[in-house]
């Protein structure tokens, strides 16, 4: 299975949101990571057929998705950013409606709906109205509709937006469980959403791909460049002016500051630390 994105360009008037994006995806989980405005939604909208590219093509197993049309949409599952999810529908009713929109056969929908509800842990509330659901339950229901038709390609747009840390972990685990045999694309600006689940990280900025590697390769590229310095509160401004600063933690009046710098800082007792994906993100998106 292969999804090839070839020289994708999208202009909105004078604004170029995608500047010739090219990448080939095979089975696995991809973290599509970039700040707001990087072009993630534009790309997903083109992939899901909601927007036309200015130029460039996308091929699924060698065939242009524009030509495949419906056939391609049939292998695609899409979880949009959380939206107003019909509050008066029940969870099962909503899935049934989504199955009808997808032209799924009645029999198959009847079999799949309880299966996916069970997969996302919502069996017991299948008959409850969505309006009574927490944010995490709504996200799980959105995942359920995305995998209802057993897609080969699963596209998730900020799947943990608005969730607390515990719910985020639950969603990430759910994504891992569902990923087998699929191309899963997770678009987000939240590093921890993709850090543990993605096999490959695609960094996107201003419509261009900056990197396409494993997390290990990306963090290794910052090896020897991440330090923790110990400073008094007053030095924070000086350090922020001089270096790229990550997490700051405090113990009494002492600050522990994560710093990314090619050269070892000359003061403040720098201790080398292992780079993480968060450091990579800061480094690439420092502006
Ligand atoms: N309909 C539009 N008309 C004009 N400009 C647009 C339109 N949609 C998006 N853009 C611009 O294109 C660029 C890419 O936007 P896009 O929404 O794809 O980014 P994103 O990475 O998905 O960000 P976010 O996470 O905020 O949705 C941005 O500069 C945005 O302002």
Long-range contacts, 257-263 (Cβ 8 Å, 24+): 257/228, 257/229, 257/230, 257/231, 258/226, 258/227, 258/228, 259/226, 259/227, 259/228, 259/229, 260/222, 260/225, 260/226, 260/227, 261/225, 261/227, 262/225
Whole-number Å distance, alpha carbon 150 to ligand 1 midpoint, is 29
Same domain, 191 and 58: yes
Among 186, 213, 240, give the residue marking a domain's end.
213
Residue to substitute in 11, 35, 37, 54 for testing ligand 1 pocket (most ligand atoms within 8 angstroms of CB): 37
Residue 213 in this model has a pLDDT that exceeds 90:
yes
C-alpha distances in angstroms, 32 versus 21, 191, 212, 276, 281? Answer: 12, 10, 9, 17, 12
Among 172, 190, 213, give the residue marking a domain's end.
213
**Angle at alpha carbon of residue 22, lines to 20 and 25, rounded to 5°:** 155
* Ligand 1 lined by 15 (C-beta under 6 Å): yes
User: Which pTM does this prediction carry?
Assistant: 0.91
Tens of pLDDT, residue by residue over 140-155, are: 999 999 999 999 999 9
Q: Measure the CA–CA gap between 230 and 271, rounded to whole angstroms.
A: 9
253 confidence band (pLDDT: 50, 70, 90)? confident
Spatial CA neighbour of 46 closest among 201, 284, 207:
207
Tens of pLDDT, residue by residue over 81-131, are: 866 688 999 999 999 999 999 999 999 999 999 999 998 999 999 999 999
Whole-number Å distance, alpha carbon 17 to ligand 1 midpoint, is 7
Predicted complex ipTM: 0.95
Choice between 286 and 202, residue whose per-residue pLDDT is larger: 202
Same domain, 206 and 255: no
pLDDT at residue 287, rounded to an integer: 66
* Ligand 1 lined by 86 (C-beta under 6 Å): no
Same domain, 63 and 127: yes
Same domain, 266 and 193: no
**Contacts (Cβ under 8 Å, ≥6 apart) of 21:** 5, 7, 8, 9, 39, 43, 56, 204, 207, 208, 209
Whole-number Å distance, alpha carbon 209 to ligand 1 midpoint, is 15
The domain in which residue 138 lies consists of 2-213
């Amino acid at each position: 299975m292969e999804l090839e994105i070839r020289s994708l360009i999208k202009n909105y008037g004078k604004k170029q949101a995608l500047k010739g994006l090219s990448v080939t995806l095979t089975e696995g989980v991809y973290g599509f990571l970039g700040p707001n405005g990087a072009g993630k939604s534009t790309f997903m909208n083109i992939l899901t057929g909601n927007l036309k590219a200015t130029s460039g093509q996308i091929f699924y197993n060698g065939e242009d998705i524009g030509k495949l049309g419906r056939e391609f949409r049939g292998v695609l599952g899409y979880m949009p950013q959380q939206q107003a999810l019909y509050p008066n529908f029940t969870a099962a009713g909503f899935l049934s409606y989504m199955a009808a929109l997808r032209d799924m056969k009645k029999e198959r929908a009847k079999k799949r709906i309880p299966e996916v509800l069970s997969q996302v842990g919502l069996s017991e509330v299948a008959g409850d109205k969505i309006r009574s659901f927490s944010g995490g339950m709504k996200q799980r229901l959105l995942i359920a509709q995305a995998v209802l038709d057993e897609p080969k390609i699963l596209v998730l747009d900020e799947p943990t937006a608005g969730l607390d840390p515990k719910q985020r972990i639950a969603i990430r685990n759910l994504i891992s469980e569902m990923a087998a045999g699929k191309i899963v694309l997770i678009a987000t600006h939240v590093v921890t959403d993709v850090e543990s689940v993605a096999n490959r990280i695609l960094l996107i900025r201003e419509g261009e791909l900056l990197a396409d590697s494993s997390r290990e390769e990306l963090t290794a590229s910052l090896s020897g460049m991440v330090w923790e310095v110990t400073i008094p509160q007053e030095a924070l401004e000086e350090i922020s002016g001089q270096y790229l600063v990550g997490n700051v933690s405090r113990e009494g009046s002492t600050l522990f500051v994560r710093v990314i710098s090619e050269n070892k800082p000359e003061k403040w007792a720098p201790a080398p630390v292992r780079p993480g994906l968060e450091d990579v993100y800061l480094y690439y998106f420092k502006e």
